[in-house]
Homo-oligomer: A and B are copies of this chain.
Amino acid sequence: MPHFSDRLAEVVRRKGPLCVGLDPRWESVPKELRDRFGPDGLGEAYAAFGEAVLELVEPHCGIVKPQAAFFEAAGEAGDRALRRLIDVARSQYGLLTILDAKRGDIASTATAYAQSAFDGYGADALTVNPYLGADAVEPFISAARAATPKRGLFVLVRTSNPGGGLFQNLVCNGRPLYRIVGEEVAKWNDGAIGDCGLGDVGTVVGATNPKEMAELRSALPKVWFLVPGYGAQGGTAADVRSAFLPNGLGAIVNSSRGVTFPFHPDDPNWREKIATAAERACAELDSGVRAP
């Protein structure tokens, strides 16, 4: 059974490191769809918009990352939309799916979250918050390794928000907290290294902190980086270069708004604009990352 890390490596080799984030917001969804479904059809509009996005970005990316919060905020129909989009992404387009839910809880509860993410929603990977410690992350790792096909995790290490350093940059025993968390992730990750040389417990490291990213890259040579903050949040292709290994693997770079909402809601040509934005982001990352 293929290792999660090797499935991810295969996709990145074939389509590049772009990951498209699905963060639907009612006010940004094309007017055409808002008119069709109306404010009571929020979840249905998210499903229709999301399916269009999947079809448009699929030629240019191999990974999508739905953000659980926006679907949850759309109530029961939003939850149905999330389940449908993960299913369509995987079964219709062969995309890898990362459920961005940043879960974290004591062991028995973590087991329920893992079951929900992998068996319920069917996601290929899940983002996890490390604050509760190793015994709270362990159930996610066990569940990911026991699932068919095998799944992966991305643990928050250094996040992309402006105030992410408040606690993450505190210096403990001479090293910043993000570094200590990162090295803990590396130990968990060592438990299952794939043929590509990388493991199944990745980290989240924001594109908005290039220096810390470079430091973490050399400290964690076998760990996948999921890099948010590219595009709308301000990170450039040059900023993310240091997240990659010399062989072009090691990182996937997420863009949400930049790829999925590059249009005014009234614009009837939103489909073309999404396709163009995805193509451009893919090319930009390709040249930015492979450039010396």
Contacts and interface: CB of A to CB of B under 8 A. Distances in A.
Contacts of A160: 106
A156 B132 contact: yes
A69 B134 CA distance: 19
Contacts of A133: 159, 161, 163-168
Contact of A161 (B75, B106, B112, B180): B106
A166 B72 contact: no
A199 interface: no
Given A161-B132, A167-B177, A170-B173, A72 B102 contact: no
A131 B108 CA distance: 21
A76 B163 CA distance: 35
A126 interface: no
Interface size on A, as a range, is: 35 or more
A134 B169 CA distance: 13
- Specify which of A70, A80, A110 lies most central, judged by the most chain B CB atoms within 10 Å of its CB: A70
A83 B107 CA distance: 24
A73 B120 contact: yes
A136 interface: yes
A42 to B, nearest CB: 11
A217 B108 CA distance: 28
A41 B159 CA distance: 39
Nearest to A206: B106
15 contacts: A69-B116, A70-B112, A72-B116, A76-B80, A79-B79, A102-B105, A129-B129, A133-B163, A134-B166, A135-B162, A135-B163, A136-B161, A167-B177, A170-B173, A172-B172
Given A69-B113, A72-B112, 4 more contacts: A69-B105, A129-B131, A130-B131, A177-B177
